[in-house]
Amino acid sequence: MAPAVDRQGYWGLTTSTLDWCEENYAVTWYMAEFWNTVSNLIMIIPPIFGAIQSVRDGLEKRYIAAYLALTVVGMGSWCFHMTLKYEMQLLDELPMIYSSCIFVYCMFECFKTKNSVNYHLLFTLVLFSLIVTTIYLQVKEPVFHQVMYGMLVFTLVLRSIYIVTWVYPWLRGLGYTSLGIFLLGFLLWNVDNIFCDSLRNFRKKVPPVVAVTTQFHAWWHILTGLGSYLHILFSIYTRTLYLRYRPKVKFLFGIWPVILFEPLRKH
């Protein structure tokens, strides 16, 4: 976490319960944490295109919701890091819970008939979200939120490992790439928290172009944004395989992964 003393800017005093290691208002007067803010673009723009493509492909609404939920997380995180206001912090953290619940629903419903609805699982996840929201608004303890989010991520990891181990082993590449990128982001998130003072001192001694590479919370956004996006692709790939489609992962401009598929032709 950041030291208590930091410069002020356009948004005034910090009211959030968290203030990350990036130096406040160091790049611009209008953004408290510039790099932690702009790094959210990876969670905002690609999922919007993913949602549009899902509509065009006629995918079930839950996958459109998954893409849009990731966009909402990115937008909330943008607002939080730009302002360091408590209300914006909630706009970041609570959608992390809600989006993960959508991911869980998608992963546990990938082997059901098309357009089916599991009302029991839906009720459970909505209830979980409401309980977490209610408690978090009362206790305002970031560790509580982090533990609840971690539980959801752990559930997704176990489900993914089950699928690539027992159901579709040929999806290990996509599944483990998503997981590995996410875990690397989590590692850098911890480095940013634990070694903040050392990182800040290091940045003072090196050129800005080098210093920016040590903004590890921004890297957390980039890596977890990419990891979450790949997880949605993994979920869609699993689902469309079960529905007897022909999914394929393609790379736009040789860089960005997207999923394309076509129904099996009837003879």
Residue 20 is labelled as binding a ligand: yes
Residue 81 is labelled as binding a ligand: yes
Distance separating alpha carbons of residues 140 and 27, to the nearest angstrom: 29
pLDDT per residue as tens, the chain (267 positions)? 554 446 788 999 999 999 999 999 999 999 999 999 999 999 999 999 999 999 999 999 999 999 999 999 999 999 999 999 999 999 999 999 999 999 999 999 999 999 899 999 999 999 999 999 999 999 999 999 999 999 999 999 999 999 999 999 999 999 999 999 999 999 999 999 999 999 999 999 999 999 999 999 999 999 999 999 999 999 999 999 999 988 888 888 888 899 887 655 544
Residue 221 is labelled as binding a ligand: yes
Q: Which secondary structure element, helix H or strand E, spans residue 256, and what is its range?
A: strand 256-260
Residue 197 is labelled as binding a ligand: no
- Asked if 161 contacts 107 with a C-beta cutoff of 8 angstroms, the reply is no
Distance separating alpha carbons of residues 79 and 53, to the nearest angstrom: 26
Residue 23 is labelled as binding a ligand: no
Q: Which secondary structure element, helix H or strand E, spans residue 248, and what is its range?
A: strand 248-252
Residue 22 is labelled as binding a ligand: yes
DSSP 103-157: HHHHHHTTTS-TT---HHHHHHHHHHHHHHHHHHHHH--HHHHHHHHHHHHHHHH
Residue 145 is labelled as binding a ligand: no
Is pTM beyond 0.85 here? yes
**DSSP code for 21:** S
CATH architecture of 34-261: Up-down Bundle (1.20)
